[in-house]
């Protein structure tokens, strides 16, 4: 069916018992050895790193992105599979999707059970990811997990331990894998891909601030003082905070910081409904509403906009494009 490059980055799918807990240490060949490789698929393994994905940095993600682009420079490669920890898989997959400009797919997968677990899910997930990578085109970056194929955009980890770990709480999945084939039900709506960041780029600081009862602007102001170039405010409800926080957002935006607004609620969009520190005031203060993107992927969108542009206004314009928003705020 085709040639698929498997890039190993660690995570539970590469984890073994270390006396007091599981730690990612297995290489890509060890991981792939657990898979039932679909007939006709030839694999090639690239070991990038092996870390628990909670430890990933932007530097790791950029290394992965460049490795994917380098592999796809070979016209004989039919697709890429990335084995990745589930904790931050949604962030890495979305960042790559925002920069993916090739019809051949990049398919992320992982496992909820350690590599050598008797009830492990690595073999099935790897099989499905390999089959998807060799079968589909023009879908961008995907996530194959527990028999379901998801678009990178909007897909988040929904359960800490269950085998069906991922879903898009505000949308539908892309397809399913079964009976030796991949059934595609929809094509993801993707913005024009961004160019690959320069090799010598310095990753900007992007922080997330969660709103809660008794929240004040302290942490938001601390993030600005620490040098954050981007901040994601995780509001309550449809994207609400307090007047003091809205004022701090306006100050941050005035100083050149890109501020985005999402919500801690699992489903539904951020919306300009409430004043009194709600999304109406936050949008007026300069925060960009991120629609249905949740915190991790909202941060990823801000990060991508910062990497792609070098002025606050250009960064906001880029961010709005990535979010399928008009390039300028309606008057």
pLDDT score for 331: 47
Average pLDDT of the residues in 241-269: 98
**Whether residue 237 has pLDDT greater than 60:** yes
Share of the chain above pLDDT 70, in %: 98
- Concerning whether 12 is annotated as a catalytic residue, the answer is yes
| The CATH number of the domain covering residues in 2-184 | 3.40.50.1170
Tell me if the pTM is above 0.75. yes
Model pLDDT for residues 138-165, shown as the tens digit of each residue: 999 999 999 999 999 999 999 999 999 9
Model pLDDT for residues 36-90, shown as the tens digit of each residue: 899 999 999 999 999 999 999 999 999 999 999 999 999 999 999 999 999 999 9
Task: Provide the β-strand partners of residue 82.
Answer: 7, 108
Domain 206-322: state its class. alpha beta
| From 12, 58, 241, 318, active-site residue | 12
Check if the beta carbon of residue 53 is closer than 8 Å to that of residue 9. yes
- Concerning whether 318 is annotated as a catalytic residue, the answer is no
Domain with CATH 3.40.50.40 in the chain: 206-322
pLDDT score for 326: 82
Model pLDDT for residues 193-227, shown as the tens digit of each residue: 999 999 999 999 999 999 999 999 999 999 999 99
**Whether residue 22 has pLDDT greater than 50:** yes
Domain with CATH 3.40.50.1170 in the chain: 2-184
| From 9, 43, 86, 263, active-site residue | 86
Q: Which band of pLDDT confidence, cut at 50, 70 and 90, is reported for residue 328?
A: low
């Amino acid at each position: 069916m085709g040639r698929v490059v498997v890039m190993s980055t660690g995570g539970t799918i590469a984890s073994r018992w270390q006396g007091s807990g599981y730690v990612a240490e297995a290489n890509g060949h060890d991981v792939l050895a657990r898979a039932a490789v679909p007939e006709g698929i030839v694999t090639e393994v690239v070991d990038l790193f092996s870390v628990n994905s909670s430890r990933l940095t932007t530097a790791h993600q950029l290394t992965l992105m460049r490795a994917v682009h380098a592999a796809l420079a070979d016209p004989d490669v039919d697709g890429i599979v990335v084995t990745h920890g589930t904790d931050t898989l949604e962030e890495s997959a979305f960042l790559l999707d925002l920069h993916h400009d090739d019809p051949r797919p990049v398919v992320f997968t992982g496992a909820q059970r350690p590599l050598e677990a008797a009830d492990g899910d690595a073999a099935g997930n790897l099989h499905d990811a390999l089959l998807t990578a060799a079968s589909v085109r023009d879908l961008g970056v995907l996530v194959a997990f527990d028999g379901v194929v998801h678009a990178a955009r909007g897909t988040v980890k929904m359960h800490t331990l269950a085998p069906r770990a991922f879903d898009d709480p505000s949308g539908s999945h892309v397809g399913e894998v079964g009976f030796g084939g991949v059934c595609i039900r929809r094509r993801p709506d993707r913005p024009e891909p961004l160019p690959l960041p320069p090799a010598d780029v310095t990753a900007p600081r992007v922080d997330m601030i969660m709103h809660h009862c008794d929240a004040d602007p302290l942490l938001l102001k601390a993030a600005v003082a620490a040098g954050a170039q981007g901040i994601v405010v995780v509001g309550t409800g449809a994207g609400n905070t307090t007047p003091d926080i809205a004022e701090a957002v306006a100050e941050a935006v005035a100083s050149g910081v890109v501020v985005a607004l999402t919500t801690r609620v699992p489903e539904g969009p951020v919306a300009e409904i409430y004043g009194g520190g709600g999304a109406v005031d936050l949008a007026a203060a300069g925060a960009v509403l991120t629609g249905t993107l949740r915190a991790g992927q909202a941060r990823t969108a801000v990060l991508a906009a910062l990497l792609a542009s070098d002025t606050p206004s250009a960064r906001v314009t880029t961010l709005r494009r990535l979010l399928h928003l008009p390039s300028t705020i309606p008057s």
